[in-house]
Amino acid sequence: MLPLLDSANPWLVGVGLNAILLALVWIAPKKLLTPAGLFHAWILGVIVWGTLGWQGYLVVAFYFLVGSGVTRIGMAEKEAQGIAEKRSGARGPENVWGSALTAALCALGVGIINSGLIVTYSQSLVPHPVSLLLLGYVASFSTKLSDTSASEVGKAYGKRTFLITTLQPVPRGTEGAVSLEGTLAGVVASIAIACVGWAVGLIDLLGILWCILAAFIATNLESVIGATLQTKYTWLTNELVNILNTLIGAIAAILLGWLWTTAIG
């Protein structure tokens, strides 16, 4: 089946397949997306399939399913404490792009380069630009799933939570709070999705390491932003912080990959 999909026009496949899959999501008992969220997820899915094929699509699908599942861990208790995600975890447009804007830009970059529009310039400026963008794509989702898992598991099961900037004990759900349970969950999540990216051929084995390191760096920087800046500026919303988080993760992984390639090259 996959060779057949590869031979078809990827953009048409993306349009049809996303319509079918998101229709199934819509009729599912648990609402994972709002109506507007469904439409924006469809746009994201078309972009990913059109540029990266089923391999890239599988990574974003893994993030969406696991991330939605993790969000619902301990939901009743988190709702009672007022620290649960809004709409019982159903994703809206702001959540879709907060999580996946960086990945979408990486995917579009790959599509543009593969189209031959800027290949001459890209190869001369940066060695292996497609490989680096694919690494950034996987790393962005590795970072976001790490952040989501660390936050949700920490809020549900964190026995002791500390403010990352002062290490002073704070209540669960405090912006910038970290816990051992959440941190371990975040690391496991980043490993899992990086392995998916490797299994479908988007990154190599060393790329798994870059994704894990980048996710750890970005997730902790996101906690620092939450503890320092997010509490001061109302315009710094969770969705904007998520974009910054995934952007930091993607850039960190790309830099690690590029520095390693340069060092051994």
Amino acid code (one letter) for 100: A
- Span 103-133, pLDDT tens digits: 999 999 999 988 876 655 555 556 689 999 9
pLDDT, averaged across the chain: 87
Residue 16: pLDDT above 60? yes
Domain map (residue ranges) of the chain? 54-264
* Residue 37, CA atoms < 13 Å, CB-side half-sphere: 18
Burial of 217 (0-12, 13-18, 19+ CB in 10 A): middle
Tokens standing for 216? 């750890």
Rounded distance between C-alpha atoms, residue 63 and residue 236, angstroms:
24
Tokens standing for 90? 């159903």
User: What pLDDT is stored for residue 54 in this prediction?
Assistant: 94
Give the ranges where 126-179 is alpha helix by DSSP (H).
129-157
Residue 7: pLDDT above 60? no
Rounded distance between C-alpha atoms, residue 195 and residue 200, angstroms:
9
Of the listed ranges 90-104, 110-124, 157-171, 233-247, the least confidently predicted one is 110-124
Higher pLDDT, 120 or 195: 195
Rounded distance between C-alpha atoms, residue 259 and residue 90, angstroms:
39
CB 241 within 8 A of CB 222: yes
